[in-house]
Amino acid sequence: MNTMIHNTIHILLALMMPPLLLGIIAKTKALFAGRVGPPLLQPYYDLVKLVQKGSVFSSTTTWVFRAGPVVGLMTAALAVLLIPLANSSAPITFTGDLILLAYLLGLGRFFTATAALDTGSSFEGMGAAREVTFACLAEPALFLGLLVLAKLSGSLQLSTMLGSSLGPHWMTAGASLALVLLSWFIVLLVENSRIPFDDPNTHLELTMIHEVMVLDHGGPAFGMILYGAALKLFVFGAMIVRLAFPLATGYPWLDWPIFVGGMLVVAVVIGVVESTIARLRLTHVPVLLVGACLLSAFGIVLLVR
């Protein structure tokens, strides 16, 4: 019975919260800039508006173009079901589900990039190439971090790795976990196309990376993309919150609000980072990503010695 309640809360939270994160990030950036900024619930209004619009598809595109947003949304939704939130198990959990998580996200990225290439436009192609390169370099960081957690918890299930056993591990292997946390934060920034890797607000031709890949989508398709991106942010944010605040008070009534609070904090931190750091030159991005991989690698070295 308890599990069903937890799962229900899990699904409801996963459905409802993601756009709020986007709103918080936008609001934080606005406050830093001295503006009032859009209302916190603006992304919801945007989604509603987009769903009500019609679609225009270019005649040069094929089914891939139409499939891109759909696959992106589906993979993100499935991924969210794999992540444990708030000291409870995820609805879907089995040994090795961390590999499924990584490759679900990879599948979504693949279809987004392919949909972009499908339009035949050079701008989309450029953005796709860049995005895929960044993802290539960021993936080892993610996996090395997961390796650290697997070694510490002795299991290959995400729900156990990011579970309540993590708390005591912070005492003994705190340095390793801190390194992994930092590395994963960088991975979050790159996978969700945030500054310093990509500016989500730019629409200048030569500076867009993620934006340009979805430039040709409109209406409900764009709504799906937007919501899918929010879900992806939620997934990574949840992983970071579980890593950073592995609190297990034992009362579900406390655990869930703590988790929600943690997610809000992560959103604010992303907003702060976006407001204070400038975007990196393209040639310097690989250096930072390799640096993130090295941080995770260090985490392992510290564990193994």
Partner 1 sequence: MVQLLDPLLIVALALNFVALGVSRIRAVINAVALQGILLGIMPLFVHPEIGLRGILLVVVTIGLKGFVIPRFLTHAMREANIQHEVKPVVNFMSSLLLGAVGTGLAVVFSYTLPLADEHTDSLLVPASLSTVWTGFLMLTTRQKAIMQVLGYLLLENGIFLFGLLLLEAMPFLVEVGVLLDLFTGVFVMGIIIYHINREFASISTEHLTELKE
Nearer to partner 1, 230 or 297 (CB): 297
In angstroms, the CA 178 to CA 173 distance is: 9
Residue type (1 letter), 60: T
Nearer to partner 1, 114 or 133 (CB): 133
Smallest distance, partner 1 to C-beta of residue 289, A: 10
Nearer to partner 1, 215 or 289 (CB): 289
Smallest distance, partner 1 to C-beta of residue 290, A: 6
Nearer to partner 1, 90 or 295 (CB): 295
**CA-CA-CA-CA dihedral for 214, 219, 221, 225, to nearest 10:** 50
On whether the CB atoms of residues 164 and 248 are closer than 8 A, the answer is: yes
The residues, any chain, with a CB within 8 Å of residue 218's CB and separated by 6 or more, are 53, 55, 56
Nearer to partner 1, 98 or 293 (CB): 293
On whether the CB atoms of residues 108 and 232 are closer than 8 A, the answer is: yes
Nearer to partner 1, 257 or 291 (CB): 291
Smallest distance, partner 1 to C-beta of residue 244, A: 16
On whether the CB atoms of residues 192 and 233 are closer than 8 A, the answer is: yes
Q: How far is CA 29 from CA 33, 36, 137, 166, in A?
A: 6, 10, 27, 32
Smallest distance, partner 1 to C-beta of residue 137, A: 10
- Cis status of the peptide bond prior to 196, with omega within 30 of 0: yes
Q: How far is CA 145 from CA 21, 111, 182, 298, in A?
A: 24, 25, 10, 10
Smallest distance, partner 1 to C-beta of residue 271, A: 24
In angstroms, the CA 229 to CA 231 distance is: 5
* Residues in touch with partner 1 (CB under 8 A): 174-175, 178-179, 284, 286-288, 290-291, 294-295, 297-298, 301-302, 305
Reported as half-sphere exposure (CB side, CA atoms, 13 A), residue 60 has a value of 8
Helix or strand holding residue 230 (H, E): helix 220-244
Rg (CA), the chain: 19
Nearer to partner 1, 65 or 197 (CB): 197
Smallest distance, partner 1 to C-beta of residue 281, A: 8
Smallest distance, partner 1 to C-beta of residue 273, A: 17
Smallest distance, partner 1 to C-beta of residue 182, A: 9
Nearer to partner 1, 71 or 297 (CB): 297
